[in-house]
Amino acid sequence: MRNAYYSHSKVRTWRRCPKMYDYKYEQGLIRKTAPAALLRGVTYHEMLDAKVMGMDPMEALVAYTKIYNELWDEEKEKYPSPEELTSLYHRYVEHYKDDTLNYNGRSEIEVTAEYRGIKFLGIIDKIPEDEAGRVWVMDHKTHKVIPDENNRFSDLQTVLYWWALREQGEETDGVLWDYIRTKPPAVVEVLKKGGLTRRVNLDSDYTTYMKAIIDNELDPADYQEELNRVKRNIFFKRVYLPRPNEELIQEVVGEFFTTAQEIENSTSKVRNMTRDCSSCSYFQLCQAELRGLDGSFIKKQVFTVREPK
C-alpha cells in the first residue's frame, strides 16, 4: 500500500480535488504560514487541551504570537490577534464555569481501526463523561457563525470516530459537538447624547453589555430589555446526539473506505476546477503550473516540505 493510513482529512481532500491531495499528501507541501482559520482553530484547540491536561493554556499562544508578530500589517488583518484568542478562551471558560463534564485527562485521543485491509486513523478532541455516567465523543468546532442542523448532518467525521472507538472495544453513548463562535461580541457603543446603544440587531453578549453598563456607571435596570436580547445571541453551544444507528455507521464507513480504496488504486492528479479554488492553500501554485509556468519558486517561497504520509 502506498499509504499507511487514511484520515477523514485525507479522504475529504481527495473528494474535493485529487490535485490538492497530490500537493498536500504526495508532495507533502505545507504553507509556511497556515491559513487564518486553520491556525486559529489549531491554536484554540491547543489552549483547550492544555486546560484539560492541567497545563497553562497561555503557553499554547506562544508559537501563535511569534507567527502573528512576524506578519506584515496587511496580513495581520486576516488573523485574530493573540488578545482576541485570549478573550475567546476566557469567555468560553466563563460560559462553562459550571461545566459538569469530567474529562479524565482524555484529550487528543488517537483511534485506529481497519476495514477491507485499509487502516483508519483519527484524533478525537475529548471523551468526557457527564453526571449520569454517559460518555461522549466530543469535537470542538470553531466557526464565525454556529452551523445549523443541516450542516451537522453533513459532518460525518464523528461517526467515523464513534465507529473506530467501538472497533477498539470502547462503547460511547453519543456525539457532542462543542461549537465556538470565533467572532467576538460587538463593542457596545456609548451614545453622544449619553447612555448605551439600544440597537435591536446588536451582535453582542450579556457579559460585554453588562461590562459597558458598569464601566459607564449606568443602572442595569434601565437596560433590562437590551440585556435580555443580547443574552439570546449564541456564541457557545453544545449539541448532544445519541449514538449513530447501525445503518448510518455502515453507510458512512463503507463510503469512506470505498474512497480510500480509490486513492490506493489511482494515480490521478486531475484538478477539480470550481469557484472554490481561490480558497485553496495551493491556488497560486496550481494556477502557475496549469499555465505551464515553473512552480519551483512558489514552492520555495510559500511552502515547506514534510515527509509525505
pTM: 0.88
What is each CA distance from 251 to 11, 139, 165, 260, in whole angstroms? 15, 21, 17, 14
What 8-state DSSP symbol labels residue 135?
A: B
Spatial distance between the Cα atoms of 6 and 213, rounded to a whole number of angstroms: 52
Residue 138, φ and ψ in degrees, nearest 5: -105, 135
Written as tens digits, the pLDDT of the chain (309 aa) is 556 799 999 999 999 999 999 999 999 999 988 888 888 889 999 999 999 999 999 998 998 999 899 888 888 888 899 999 999 999 999 999 999 999 999 999 999 999 989 999 999 999 999 999 999 999 999 998 898 888 777 788 999 999 999 999 999 999 999 999 999 999 999 999 999 999 999 999 999 999 999 999 999 999 999 999 999 999 999 999 999 999 999 999 999 999 999 999 999 999 999 999 998 999 999 999 999 999 999 999 999 998 755
Sheet holding 107-115, edge to edge: 107-115, 118-126, 136-143, 174-181, 236-242
**The Cα angle at residue 263 between residues 260 and 267, in degrees rounded to 5:** 175
Q: Beta-carbon neighbour count of residue 299 at 10 Å?
A: 18
What grid cell was written down for 249? 455507521
* Domains of the chain as residue ranges with CATH: 1-27+100-183+235-268 (3.90.320.10), 33-97 (no CATH), 185-233 (no CATH)
